[in-house]
Structure 1
Amino acid sequence: MKEHSFNTATITTIGMFTAVLAVLSILQIPMPSGVPITLQTFAVALCGYVLGRKNGTLCVLLYLLLGFAGVPVFTGMTAGIGKLVGYTGGFLYGFLFLAFFCGLGLHLKNKVASFGLGVVGLLICHVLGAFHYSIIAQITFPAAFLLVSVPYLAKDILSVLGAMLVAVVIRKTLTRGGINLQ
């Protein structure tokens, strides 16, 4: 089995996509539920589809660690460990699954299956987000799911599809530039 190694190009690319995730997380449309509309889902899926399951998940983990350490990379340029126990905490750690499953689909020849894996990751993220929200808001899981998941699902499914399509172009461009990601 090949040992996973990090070269300068891989480290730089992970850092670059962590920055892309941070930038796309800044803009938000606040919602009454406390869970804003953002481009985070697109950015996380893009990390997975471009970098693969290991590096994409690592990129999202780095983003979360930066935010929890106080770097203002979360929605609205916020940060801190308190975000983990806030309304959106479940979505934040759910992003790890989204990146992982998108990354699993990266090398599949069947693009429908690749997209399907991304949707599986998205659904895990939504279930974790709604479950976490239900605990924090002290409401039932079904009520939380209807409040903070259902209204976002169409946008998020389109975000995963868009990220998959954009990733194809980015990966081809990186390959032409001599950067070969797994």
Structure 2
Amino acid sequence: MNNRTRELTMIALFPALMGATAGISIPLFNLPPITLQTFFVFLAGLTLGPKKGALSMIIYLIIGAIGIPVFSGFRGGLEILTGFSGGFLVGFVFAAFFVGFMKTVKILNNNILSNFTILLGANLIIYMFGAAYIAFLTSTSIWPTLSGLSIYLIGDLLKITTTLYVYVRIRSAFTYEWA
């Protein structure tokens, strides 16, 4: 397989995986549900790098916005992006870019602990976008909204750990360093 075909396949892989696992979610009343989406956001950043990882997430948002059911609970449409999940979904683009960018800084990604810290920072980016948008929609302060997201913390730590476990095993075959 030539490089260009491989790049396009890898970019398309993550929106496909996110859409395929969209039905796996734990609803949380008025908050966005717990999903596997961030697992794939992190993995896209780690394996594709900053630009291609972010592009992969933009494609995911476009696919969902036009109505294809790739968002949590197999939902799709622009109303999902304008609802409480919208900030989190937009945060995916920036988180994937952040992870990919931080992976290019060689002194920061020499061990599992530094990679864990990078993914924790990416998760914080997603939280900030999500909390800021929810605060905007509800006309409240961002700080109480952000503290309300603590319900996601244990699941997100588990997803970060799982992402690192998977990445360590696949990085030699699926890493952006081939590009």
Unaligned runs of at least 5 residues, structure 2: none
SS of the counterpart of 1:25? coil
Letter in 2 for 1:85: T
Q: Mean Cα displacement is larger for which, 72-81 or 100-109?
A: 100-109
Q: Using the alignment, how far apart are the partners of 1:31 and 1:181 within structure 2?
A: 40
1:61 maps to 58
Same amino acid, percent of matched pairs: 34
2:160 maps to 160
Show CA shifts across 1:142-176 (max 9, x none).
Answer: 221222x211122213312321221222222447x
SS of the counterpart of 2:32? coil
Contact 2:47 2:174 in 1 (8 A): no
Letter in 2 for 1:155: G
Unaligned runs of at least 5 residues, structure 1: 1-5
2:74 maps to 77
Q: How many residues align?
A: 173
TM-score between both structures, scaled by the size of structure 2: 0.86
Q: Using the alignment, how far apart are the partners of 2:115 and 2:174 within structure 1?
A: 20
Contact 1:102 1:115 in 2 (8 A): no
Show CA shifts across 1:15-44 (max 9, x none).
Answer: 122211222233211111231111111111
Q: Which runs of 4+ in 1 moved over 4 A?
A: none
Indicate how the Cα distance of structure 1 residues 118 and 174 shifts in structure 2: closer, same or farther if over 3 A, else same. closer
Contact 1:127 1:145 in 2 (8 A): yes
Shift of 1:59: 0.8
Give the RMSD, CA atoms, in angstroms. Answer: 2.1
